[in-house]
Amino acid sequence: ARVVTTLREAVVAGRREALLPMVEEALAQGRKAQAILSEDLVPGIMDVGVLYERKEYFLPQLLLSAETMQAGFDRLKPLLEEGQEAQARPKIVLATVEGDIHDIGKNIVGLMLRNHGFEVIDLGKDVSAERIVEAARESGAPVIGLSALMTTTMVRMEDTVRLLRERGMSQKVMVGGAVVTDAFARSIGADGHAADAVEAVRLVKRLMD
Ligand code: B1M
């Protein structure tokens, strides 16, 4: 097997057994979990996207790398979650839309929102418009966050906004994911688009004002 010497390379190579000890070592050296995530793991999975685009990687490698990234994320997660008090926190419903199983970005956004004091109702991935709208109604969450990573599933965001409005609901909708743009968000009647997790927190706060 290829020798991997950095966290980023371990994600690219899909070598979870190599990644986890490196994560421990980085933590032991005092590196922050957030830095490991954003400077190593995320760039690694982005490299994988480029290799896949160039057809140097195929689905099996894509999967292995995603699993490796996920294992690293799972290790860091408890460190990224700050203690939250039990007081009433503003709610947000979060989901990756129907037909789309990409959830790494959504999970990062969810974690970041939790760390900023929001109660995140995470419906998971491949979630129908019906279920999303239902969860929004039940929870009374003022904001709904939708993630989509593919051009073929972006349209499901539009379905969700339409269904929400058809039901006479006025919840705000935030959309995100690699393929989503501000122009697209506007075109489907969403209330805003965030390019990354930091922007997502800022946007949710603004939408709730
Ligand atoms: Co797939 N995949 N994938 N994939 N995959 C992409 C998205 C793709 C761009 C790769 C490529 O061709 N270059 C391409 C889509 C092409 C397109 O439509 N334009 C693609 C494809 C085609 C596919 C399959 C169809 C492959 C196949 O089967 N032939 C298949 C689809 C399955 C399905 O969904 N039905 C598939 C499968 C997979 C895996 C399962 C192997 C795995 C996902 C594992 C998982 O998520 N649990 C996977 C991965 C890992 C990727 C790439 C390489 C990386 C995605 C990622 O995790 N990025 C991706 C390449 C790429 O994106 N360039 C690719 C890191 C993550 C932190 O970024 O998700 O963008 P991102 O999230 C960011 C921001 O976008 C934003 O904040 C996040 C943090 O900064 N954000 C939000 C995201 N959601 C937000 C929501 C918000 C706000 C901000 O508000 C609610």
Q: Is 109 in the pocket of ligand 1 (CB under 6 A)?
A: yes
125 Cβ closer than 6 Å to some ligand 1 atom:
no
87-111 per-position pLDDT tens digit: 678 999 999 999 999 999 999 999 8
Query: How confident is the model over 148-161, as pLDDT tens digits?
Result: 999 999 999 999 99
Sign of CA dihedral 129, 130, 135, 136: positive
* The pTM of the whole model exceeds 0.80: yes
60 to 18, 22, 46, 156: CA distances (angstroms): 18, 23, 16, 26
50 close to ligand 1 (CB < 6 Angstrom): no
Helix axes 59-80, 104-115, angle to 10 degrees: 10
Task: Please compute Rg for the chain using Cα positions.
Answer: 18
Is the pLDDT score of 1 beyond 90?
no
At residue 172, does pLDDT exceed 80?
yes
Task: Compute the mean pLDDT over every residue in the chain, rounded to the nearest whole number.
Answer: 93
Token digits of residue 142:
């003022």
Say what the pLDDT of residue 83 is.
57
Signed CA dihedral, 48, 52, 54, 57: sign only: positive
Q: Categorise residue 33: left if φ over 0, alpha if ψ from -120 to 50, beta otherwise.
A: alpha
pLDDT of residue 82: 67
Determine the pLDDT at residue 116. Answer: 79
Comparison of pLDDT for 185 and 80, the residue scoring more:
185
Whether pLDDT at 84 is above 60:
no
Tell me: the pLDDT tens digits for 55-81?
A: 999 999 999 999 999 999 999 989 887
Q: What is the pLDDT of residue 80?
A: 84
Res 145 pLDDT > 70: yes
* pLDDT score for 3: 80
Closest residue to atom 88 of ligand 1, CA basis: 176
Q: pLDDT tens across 124-136, in order?
A: 999 999 999 999 9
Amino acid (1-letter code) at residue 188: I
Atom 76, ligand 1: residue with shortest CA distance? 196
* % of residues, the chain, pLDDT over 90: 84
How far is 130 from 107, CA to CA, in rounded Å?
21
98 Cβ inside 6 Å of ligand 1: no
Is 150's C-beta closer than 6 angstroms to any atom of ligand 1? yes
